[in-house]
Structure 1
């Protein structure tokens, strides 16, 4: 390794690798995140999202592959929700892996998370992208352990990890689990997948909001004056002559002047 490369460690993981060229770190596996959608305002972080302070973390397989960063956050246990994802650091972390990649076994995952909470151990829950499968496990845990309804649990997780994007099948599983926990929802209105928007800023530029009644200007009021109703200028019409009449009038005037002078 050249001296220049040794003097320029990675700003994320602190190790020496060509992170700007996309080379993965040989120690912790960190690599530069690639964002394909340039219009996206969601920042990709090397660290998992903290859902419950000093206890529950949510992330992707990329987050789970960075052992050194997980250790800096005090994480010692990992809940892997995707059987296809390898448990990379079995000597450093305690792993629990869900065995079914088609279904979400909430009770199995929650039992592991409750034991982590009892042991006061920080735990990372991850899937491949950290957008649907692992957030569903975390939401189910919040419903079961905190007694929160689905909408409130989803709101809590979404606020702390904006990239969460549950698919319809996963959300339906969560609705069924909510019914299992809180009982029949027959008397409650059917809830669709909630849509969350960014908070409205405190300042305003006086633009009307959708709930404001917009006053449309009235252009046909009785007080308005038409351009065709303006008074006619008091100029005698004979002062303005056009065409042949003007020419004849000019010749007559010249003849009168010549006769007066003769």
Structure 2
């Protein structure tokens, strides 16, 4: 199939690269395009709908799930086998909008350590047409609790559709300032956040406000603790016992003439 012919295909027909070069998602229509799949280098097909026939057994290695609803672990074992060989696999169901996406989302949670909200957003951003059914959402929520001990999307997945793309970088505001995207759900507590902008480090020099009590140019050497009166005198540059209202010694005052020196020359050359 030529590049021009591929451009004329409906977007829903083309395999969606969830993990480019490894894991792809599609529908029955996608799985029926053997020429397209071979051109993309796909070698294995995971069929998540038991009644779908294996159309091209001589061209691809198939695995058809044995139960409905699908057993996530059964699917994960097949995907692990393919991806460990660095080969490409297509996961599909009839329409490619619920069952096969839920298998891929569960796989990302298991293998990448991501939470449900993150995995769903990752797949949704790649394939906008997915629409996980309520029963599949419930299974994914239960699976997340099993893996991570809590659920990051207790209100369901549809509420995440208007959130920022997973790993989206902050956008520049009208004044050139960085605006952080609003969180769509609770942040992940396990696994890396893919592509997320890191927070400012603790040693960032962005804080230019001087600390309280700071005097620019002051270089008061630390000394032994003394009575409060002496500490106050040190802070004001006074000698111990000197009244606070009295002026300190003037470093620019003429030096008194020593014995034997002329009194008309008050500066040394």
Instruction: Compute the TM-score of the two structures, normalised by the length of structure 2.
Output: 0.57
Kindly state the Cα deviation for residue 97 of structure 1 after the two structures are TM-superposed: 0.5
Q: Quote the residue 2:57 is aligned against.
A: 90
Kindly state the Cα deviation for residue 50 of structure 1 after the two structures are TM-superposed: 0.2
Segments of structure 2 that go 5 or more residues without pairing to the other structure are 166-170, 175-269
Q: Quote the residue 2:112 is aligned against.
A: 146
Kindly state the Cα deviation for residue 85 of structure 1 after the two structures are TM-superposed: 1.0
* 1:12 and 1:46 in contact (8 A); partners too: no
Kindly state the Cα deviation for residue 150 of structure 1 after the two structures are TM-superposed: 0.3
Asked whether 1:75 is paired with 2:42, we answer yes
Instruction: Give the whole-Å Cα distance in 2 for the aligned partners of 1:78 and 1:189.
Output: 30
Asked whether 1:190 is paired with 2:190, we answer no
Kindly state the Cα deviation for residue 124 of structure 1 after the two structures are TM-superposed: 0.1
Q: SS at the partner of 1:125?
A: strand
Q: Quote the residue 2:266 is aligned against.
A: none
Q: Which has the higher helix share?
A: 1
Segments of structure 1 that go 5 or more residues without pairing to the other structure are 1-8, 20-31, 34-43, 205-262
Q: Quote the residue 2:13 is aligned against.
A: 46
Instruction: Compute the TM-score of the two structures, normalised by the length of structure 1.
Output: 0.58
Q: What is the total number of aligned residue pairs between the two structures?
A: 168
Structure 1: 4+ residue segments shifted above 4 A: 198-204
Rg (Cα) greater in structure: 1
Kindly state the Cα deviation for residue 103 of structure 1 after the two structures are TM-superposed: 1.1
Q: Quote the residue 1:232 is aligned against.
A: none
Asked whether 1:177 is paired with 2:136, we answer no
